[in-house]
Amino acid sequence: MAEPTIYELSSAGRVGVRFPEPDVPPAPLPEAFLRQDLPLPELSELDVVRHFTHLSSLNYSIDGGFYPLGSCTMKYNPKVNEEAARLPGFAFTHPLQPSETIQGNLALMYVLQEWLKEISGFAGVSLQPAAGAHGEFVGVLIIRAYHRSRGDVKRTKMLIPDSAHGTNPATSAMSGFEVVNVPTGANGNVDLESLRQVCDDTVAGLMLTNPNTLGLFDQNVLEVVEIVHQAGGLVYGDGANLNALLGVVRPGDLGFDVMHFNLHKTFSTPHGGGGPGSGPVGVARHLVDFLPGPISVIAEEGTEEEAPLYELGMPPQSIGRVKAFYGQFGMLVRAFTYISMHGPDGLRSIAEHAVLNANYLLARLRHTYKVPFDRVCMHEFVMEGHSAAAPEVHALDIAKRLIDYDFHPPTNYFPLIVHEALMIEPTETENKQTLDAFAEALVKIAAEARSDPELLKSAPHHTPVGRLDEVKAAKDLVLCCWIPDQP
């Protein structure tokens, strides 16, 4: 059923706005600009409020329901983050204010940099990048700058495991590297023999996601890092899955040279339709000088009575500025709030519960759906949305049918190395009742796939719009089903 448009709700003579008495003398309007036949909608204020409030609830949201979108970490965004970000001292700072008037903001950035260093085991952090993909771009530029600074210009290849997120090869290609694929072995880890074969003195680095997009911790990670380092390459860590490691493993300790954080995933700043991302980058000691800036630094050490004096500094061999001003400052406030609310033990318990929730769901579903790399998972797992018992039903149909059960579909058809992939990430913020209800819905859907495949192929049935073109729907928006006839 199509939603009525504001034009269809219009009723002649209804008024929603009252203009104040003009406080300037009336002036005649140019005749040519006046039209009597402009079909403006006529509605009361209440009509308008109800219409838009209703429309706002048509989008699925994390505040509205379970959102197990694998690799995206759609955890609950605590409202205290929003309160902190709205504090006038943060919200109303002008980006061109002199640094002595924004000491609080610089202190927050400095402390957040320090916390991210401690959490990840890196020696330096820049908060500039605006998203994970942007952080990857920055990281790869840092790798390039490092090799160039040593006169090592023959390194033209970036190694990317075949389970990688699409942004990894895209970033490498955009930065001028040749992308070389590294296959995954039978157990879901990087295949070491294949890695050894492609490692030589033309390799600039490897981009590794750990846990990888199968939701598996690469058990050979130390060896992988060692092989790349032996060849003179650097290891980039795609930190999108850091939620599984918080307080347990530090990527810097594993030997990674550079990594991005997705504050909007791990540290609960809103994402998707909810706001901009933030993708700070952490680096090991030998790369600190290449970080993009400005970053917050201490200009004068504090004393017992006085806070330190902060200023914005540019690392000496910086790849430059990659974002206007200081990055997504509002997101930095939210992440700072989230980390300070949890503390070290709280952060560790986030990872433990994210991993526990994923393993609980996996245990409930592995007898109903095929799980190609079936071992203890980290914060997410990947199963197949296709079975011989229901040959015409595909992962997409299962995803669409879940909408009828009021669940957001999982990520589907990614990672590419799993046939008909359904990638499920419950996150730590969901309770057992929700996980049970989701597992039961998927078990029911598997039975429906055998008894009534058409029910799945025509899903969803209860949404304002049904099946959309998967590719065109996001590019060719249809926002209005009725446009008034032009005179």
Tell whether residue 213 is a contact of ligand PLP (CB under 6 A).
Answer: yes
| 225 strand-pairing partners | none
Residue 437 beta carbon to ligand PLP: minimum distance, rounded to whole angstroms = 25
Name the minimum Å distance from CB 154 to ligand PLP.
Answer: 28
Cβ proximity to ligand PLP: between 81 and 241 the closer is: 241
Q: Whole-angstrom Cα distance, residue 360 to residue 431?
A: 11
Does 279 engage in binding with ligand PLP (CB under 6 A)?
A: yes
Sheet with strand 234-239: strands edge to edge: 124-126, 281-283, 258-261, 234-239, 203-209, 157-161, 178-182
Contact predicate 273/72, CB 8 Å: no
Q: Which stretch binds ligand PLP (CB under 6 A): 33-41, 53-61, 125-133, 220-228?
A: 125-133
Told to check if 262 binds ligand PLP by CB under 6 A, we report yes
Give the three-state DSSP class for 312.
strand
Q: Which is nearer to ligand PLP, 215 or 232 (CB)?
A: 215
Rounded to 5°, the CA angle 266-367-211 comes to 25
Among 68, 124, 129, 132, binds ligand PLP (CB under 6 A): 132
- Asked if residue 240 binds ligand PLP (CB under 6 A), the reply is yes
Closest CA to 315 of 133, 98, 141: 141
Least distance (Å) between residue 210 CB and ligand PLP: 10
Cα 173 to its chain centre, rounded Å, is: 21
- The full length of the chain comes to 487
Q: Which is nearer to ligand PLP, 110 or 338 (CB)?
A: 338
CA distance 119 to 246: 7
User: Phi, psi at residue 340, to the nearest 5°?
Assistant: -70, -30
- Least Å from the CB of residue 349 to ligand PLP: 22
Q: Is 323 in the site for ligand PLP (CB under 6 A)?
A: no
Shortest Cβ 343–ligand PLP spacing (Å): 25
CB 74 → ligand PLP: shortest distance, Å? 11
Task: Choose the binding region for ligand PLP from 83-91, 130-138, 291-299, 462-470 (rule: CB under 6 A).
Answer: 130-138
- Pick 163 or 296: Cβ nearer ligand PLP: 163
Residues 6+ apart with CB under 8 A from 155: 147, 201, 202, 203, 204, 205, 232, 233
Residue 241: CB minimum distance to ligand PLP, A = 6
Closest distance of CB 134 from ligand PLP, Å: 7
Binding segment toward ligand PLP, per CB under 6 A, in 53-61, 129-137, 181-189, 425-433: 129-137
Please choose, out of 126-134, 194-202, 248-256, 305-313, the segment that lies near ligand PLP by the rule CB under 6 A: 126-134
Of 59, 47, 61, nearest in space to 13 by CA: 47
Q: Cα separations (Å) of 297 from 107, 109, 111, 113, 302?
A: 9, 9, 10, 10, 12
DSSP-derived pairing of the beta strands 411-412 and 421-424: antiparallel
Using CB under 6 A as the criterion, which residues of the chain lie in contact with ligand PLP when the complex forms? 71-72, 131-133, 165, 167, 209, 213, 238, 240, 262, 277, 279
